[in-house]
Amino acid sequence: MPDVPDTASPTPGTPEINTDWAFARYEEVRQRLPEARFPKTSIRHKHTGELAEAFDVFVLDAFGVLNVGETALRGAPERIAALQAMGKEVYVLTNGATYNAEKARAKYARLGFSFEPSRIIASRDVLSDGLAKYPSAFRWGFMATADSQVEELAPQSVVLADDPATYDEVDGFVLLSSIGWTDARQKKLIQALTKNKRPVLVGNPDIVAPREESLSLEPGFYAHDLADRTGIAPLFFGKPFRNAFDEVIRRVARDRPGVPPERIAMVGDTLHTDILGGAAAGFKTILVTDYGLFRGHPIASYIAASKIVPDFIVATT
């Protein structure tokens, strides 16, 4: 088993955010994640190109698979272009919810990838469907950036900042982007929910995301923190939850009718989001090890500890 702490503190501002801490935190909240069946062992390959003949559809995570922060993985644009040239359906399934599909497409284009907006599935899209089930007059308080265009998701919305009155006035909360979120704001959110329990929707279930030099805390981290402290069960939209994979299945049926789940590969860098979610949806799974969450760590020990087993392991996309 990897050398991880017995418990992972859910307190924002934890001093050491690293792979072992993130793994332990995912294990602590495992009861909130889907269940799935896994193969007994994984088959190793060098890269996804070696699996091209095995699948008709490739569903790619973004961070740790296509890019790390604002940098494309070496060779990834060329590999994806080769799969597309072979006639494979290639989608991006990302928990990055800050920006809409068109802005996401432009970002990937800057990094050297060519994806149509309809081939990019963000947890933001799935969240939009969830928000549509609430009355149009519902006023949401968003954990988001000033340029997240939250009005696209909910016309009656406000971006949360430092005024505690705002937290008391809204009808519910949406955790979309943790950029700029602070311990003080998390405390205000928890205090407001303790006084008056309201819906909490989470547009990015990730606990951490790999950046160039470190791991960032993501909305899923803060969602599990408030769940532990208030007893409120957040509604998660995105990997590893079924709503994200149902959207993949819908778009595959539109673009490539009749493809069975076992001919769809979920490619990701995390066990508890990409691999768990893909397996729960009935897809085959491919874990990329050299760039994302487990970079530089012995992946076999994490697989043994979590019992989340990918069908294939590759060093790079």
| Whether residue 117 sits in one domain with residue 101 | yes
99: confidence class by pLDDT, cuts 50, 70, 90: confident
With tokens 């890269």, the residue in question is: 47
| Whether residue 203 sits in one domain with residue 108 | no
| Whether residue 96 sits in one domain with residue 139 | no
| Whether residue 264 sits in one domain with residue 132 | no
1: confidence class by pLDDT, cuts 50, 70, 90: very low
Q: Which amino acid is at 210?
A: P
- In this prediction the pTM is 0.92
- On whether residue 292 sits in a domain, the answer given is no
- On whether residue 51 sits in a domain, the answer given is yes
Please, what sign has the CA dihedral across residues 234, 236, 242, 243? positive
pLDDT reading at 2 higher than 50: no
Summarize pLDDT for 195-219 with one digit per residue, the tens.
999 999 999 999 998 877 788 899 9
Task: Check residue 10 and give its pLDDT.
Answer: 43
List Cα–Cα distances, 48 to 23, 117, 130, in angstroms. 24, 23, 33
| Whether residue 130 sits in one domain with residue 117 | no
Domain that holds residue 221: 126-236
Task: Check residue 15 and give its pLDDT.
Answer: 52
- On whether residue 117 sits in a domain, the answer given is yes
At a CB cut-off of 8 Å and minimum separation 6, what does 43 contact? 311, 312, 313
Do residues 49 and 278 make contact, with C-beta atoms less than 8 angstroms apart?
A: no
Task: Check residue 94 and give its pLDDT.
Answer: 93
- On whether residue 16 sits in a domain, the answer given is no
- On whether residue 217 sits in a domain, the answer given is yes
| Whether residue 131 sits in one domain with residue 56 | no
- On whether residue 23 sits in a domain, the answer given is no
Q: For 143, how many CA atoms within 13 A lie in the half-sphere containing its CB?
A: 30
| Whether residue 186 sits in one domain with residue 115 | no
According to DSSP, the β-strands at 172-175 and 200-202 are: parallel
Name the β-bridge partners of 159. 142
- On whether residue 293 sits in a domain, the answer given is no
| Whether residue 262 sits in one domain with residue 210 | no
| Whether residue 254 sits in one domain with residue 192 | no
| Whether residue 220 sits in one domain with residue 159 | yes
Task: Check residue 16 and give its pLDDT.
Answer: 80
Mean pLDDT of 25-31: 98
* Domains contained in the chain, number: 2
- Give the domain CATH number at 47: 3.40.50.1000
